[in-house]
Amino acid sequence: MSLIVRDMAIARGGVPVLQGVSFDVQPGQALVLRGPNGIGKTTLLRCVAGLQPVLSGQVNTDADRLAYVAHADGIKSVLSVAENLSFWAQIFGRSDISAALEAYQLTALADRPAGLLSAGQKRRLGLARLLVTGRQLWIMDEPTVSLDGEAVHMFASAIRMHLSGGGSALLATHIDLGLAEAHVLDLAPYRATTMAGDAFDEAFL
């Protein structure tokens, strides 16, 4: 499955942030979005994930084949690491979580309540969730926040494995993951200039 975005314009809170964005992500490819804070990286990823409508343009993707990682990891602190992960595995119709625990070195922590994990360990759990979804396109918003160097390395190798298996990834990040094969898209030139109102919000303004 390939992700094709053509001439997309998006708004956050009724204010247009980006316009004229076009890119492709083919199977086996990774695209890294870059740009200053507030340029609209998160909004773009939410639009691609289908959580938010676009102002104009086209996003061609299959909602049944993507998985999304947001700033918040969606971890329940009173459930154990394994319970958190197997819940998401079941939601996506799968059951095996051992490979995901292994990939992010969480096996030793499997029975610990997620509330007791450090910020970096929680993030690793949030990223391990991607592996249990079995989805082809990973959409990740700042996936490396609070990860240490070693964990970033685990993450990069998880992406490499995913890409070599025909998967694809779209991520917004500020750090260099060391993924030589990833393409980079700088969003700064696409900053919106026109004030196009969102018809849905207009009724409330």
Partner 1 sequence: MIALLIRDLRLAMRAGGGFGLGLAFFLIVVVLVPFAVGPQSSLLSTIAPGVLWLGALLACLLSLDRILALDWEDGSLDLLAVSPLPLEAVVSLKALAHWLTTGLPLVLAAPVLAVLLNMPSEGYEPLIMSLLLGTPALSVIGTFGAALTVGLKRGGLLLSLLVLPLYVPTLIFGAEAARRGMVGLEITVPMLMLGGITCGAIALLPFASAAVLRVNLR
Give contact residues for partner 1 (rule: CB under 8 A). 49-53, 63-64, 66-68, 70-79, 83, 87-88, 90-93, 129
Nearer to partner 1, 68 or 190 (CB): 68
CB of 16 to partner 1, least distance (A): 15
Nearer to partner 1, 36 or 53 (CB): 53
CB of 118 to partner 1, least distance (A): 16
Collapsing DSSP to helix, strand or coil, 147 comes out as coil
CB of 79 to partner 1, least distance (A): 7
Nearer to partner 1, 71 or 153 (CB): 71
Q: Phi, psi at residue 204, to the nearest 5°?
A: -100, -5
Give the angle subtended at the CA of 87 by the CAs of 81 and 88, to the nearest 5°.
100
In whole angstroms, how far apart are CA 197 and each of 12, 16, 19, 37, 50? 11, 8, 13, 22, 20
Nearer to partner 1, 1 or 79 (CB): 79
CB of 84 to partner 1, least distance (A): 9
- For residue 26 the two structure tokens come to 């083919």
- For residue 9 the two structure tokens come to 């314009």
Nearer to partner 1, 130 or 182 (CB): 130
CB of 204 to partner 1, least distance (A): 10
Collapsing DSSP to helix, strand or coil, 46 comes out as helix
Residues 79 and 109 sit within 8 Å (Cβ to Cβ): no
Compute the distance between CA of residue 160 and CA of residue 163 in angstroms, rounded to an integer: 5
Nearer to partner 1, 36 or 50 (CB): 50
CB of 74 to partner 1, least distance (A): 4
Compute the distance between CA of residue 163 and CA of residue 130 in angstroms, rounded to an integer: 13
**DSSP H helical ranges for 12-68:** 41-49
Question: Residues with Cβ < 8 Å from 72, sequence gap 6 or more?
Answer: none
